[in-house]
Chain A
Amino acid sequence: MSSDDDHVYLSLAEGHADDARWAFGTGFEDPLHGVDTTLPPGVDAGALTALCLALADDALVAAQRLAQWITLAPELEEEVALANIGLDLLGQARLLYARAGQAEGAGRDEDALAYFRDQADFRNVVLAELPNGDFAHCVVKLLLLSSWRLAELTGLTEHPDPVLAAVARKGVSELTYHRDHAAQWVVRLGDGTEESARRTSAALAELWPYRAELYAAAPQTRDEVEAVLAQVLDAAHLSAPTDAPTATASGRSGEHTEHLAELLAELQSVARADPEATW
């Protein structure tokens, strides 16, 4: 039977010679520890690396934006919900970075990929990096991102790489909850008071053009996502913006806004201040 040492940090620290390790920011155990990570024949390592990296960057950046809601959400339950959604995405990011590193074969682990790449190397869609606005903005962005990611992961559940396929299968159940949560809020706000409907419409007007980038990155997701958005807007008694300009955002080619630089500066600052440190 396991010992009296049932404290999570003590137990985690067991694998480390350094007893002084008291917090966990870098140097986690490999998230794919104990998983058969052989690359199956016929899988293009370069393409797999790029795909995992893009999906991981979307998740990491979106998770960071969700974490920024903590202490700011309109109610405690909502804060817990946004933190949980962020944690799911962070978990997906860790596995995907680890897989990207293995497929790349250059010895980069999840920390190297998350903390030691610069803005131009990030491949997340621009929608994920946009700064947080009001709560209507938050749930509209979450609806767009989660509907799109759910569609993309659903398509990847049959990917020839068994690790990516497994991450996608698990991700589909998680994303289903995220999309539900966002959709219910959009309906509640759109069909709520005059003020909540006004704010939700404003968020839609701002964020609607970014769909173009999502569909350019994963064209096969378009029909599903458009159908979901139409269903939600209909229930929320909101209409899709008609005169939305065409956005030219292209985060997948490394073209980002200054907001990503700001986000990464915060996210990466501690790891970069002392690159050899494990904390």
Chain B
Amino acid sequence: MVNTTLVEEWSQVAATAAASAVCDPELPMLTLADLGVLREVRVDGDGGVTAVLTPTYTGCPALAEMRADVVAALRGAGFAEARVETQLSPPWSTDDITAEGRRKLAEAGIAPPGTAPRRAAGPVPLTLGPTHAAAVVACPRCGSADTEETSRFGATACKALRRCRACREPFEQVKEI
């Protein structure tokens, strides 16, 4: 006799493991689980699996690839009926990047994001003056806190460009959103 509960549990573990291990196309050192875009993996009654993803940026061209990669990974793990749902709300924030993800970013020379600004109800206040003066972004190479932003926008939507004043090296930072 087959123990259905055990099979279900095993499916859940296997499907979660397969989907969680898929790497982000733009930040390949991170898995989708590290990035925090994999919201849920659900084993459905029909033996199929549904993975729930949330986009990082609305215009991020990587989302279609993430979706295709998750389906391929789930099929590879034996789940022929693999589906992906997209969840738009609540929107993804860099706060969703896990501690493990932050460690991997730093290891790859990309400064992890600080805490994302919390938005109160009503108009978004405009802050002029030195950008992010309060937040200290440490250089991922030499560790110095003496760094400056050279451009708020980098090679991908999620990154800003910075420069270390101590070791003079430029580096990227995942910017808070």
**Chain A contact residues, CB within 8 Å of chain B:** 1-3, 6, 8, 11-12, 14-15, 28-29, 32-36, 77-78, 80-81, 83-85, 87-92, 94-95, 150-151, 154, 162-163, 165-167, 169-174, 176-177, 179-181, 183-184, 187, 224, 227-228, 231-232, 235
Contacts and interface: CB of A to CB of B under 8 A. Distances in A.
Given A2-B76, A181-B153, A183-B128, A89 B59 contact: yes
Contacts of B155: 80
Nearest to B91: A170
A184 B88 contact: no
Given A80-B153, A224-B123, A232-B128, A171 B58 contact: yes
Contact of A169 (B85, B89, B127): B89
A92 B22 contact: no
B84 interface: yes
Interface of B: 18, 21-23, 25, 53, 55, 57-62, 64-65, 67-69, 72-73, 76, 83-93, 117, 119, 122-124, 126-128, 131, 150-155, 157, 161, 175, 177
Contacts of A171: 58
Given A8-B65, A80-B155, A231-B126, A1 B73 contact: yes
A32 B89 CA distance: 13
Contacts of A166: 88-89, 91
6 contacts: A34-B86, A91-B57, A91-B58, A170-B92, A177-B153, A179-B126
Given A1-B73, A183-B126, A35 B85 contact: yes
A104 B118 CA distance: 35
Contacts of B157: 84, 87-88
Nearest to B23: A2
B90 A151 contact: no
A28 B65 CA distance: 11
Instruction: Name the prevailing secondary structure of the A interface residues.
Output: helix
A33 B150 CA distance: 36
Name, among B18, B67, B117, the residue most crowded by chain A CB atoms within 10 Å (CB to CB): B67
Contact of B65 (A11, A169, A227): A11
A88 B58 contact: yes
B58 A12 contact: no
Nearest to B60: A91
A151 B124 CA distance: 8
A151 B126 CA distance: 12
B59 A91 contact: yes
Nearest to B56: A170
Contacts of A167: 58, 88
Contact of B89 (A81, A165, A187): A165
B59 A34 contact: no
Contact of A92 (B58, B69, B152): B58
Given A1-B18, A81-B153, A33 B86 contact: yes
Given A1-B73, A8-B62, A81-B151, 5 more contacts: A3-B72, A87-B57, A87-B59, A180-B131, A187-B128
Contacts of A169: 89-91
A34 B52 CA distance: 9
A8 B25 contact: yes
B80 to A, nearest CB: 16
Nearest to B74: A2
Nearest to B161: A77
Nearest to B22: A2
Contacts of B22: 1-2
Given A165-B89, A169-B90, A80 B154 contact: yes
Nearest to A234: B128
A3 B128 CA distance: 47
Contacts of A91: 57-60
A32 B150 CA distance: 35
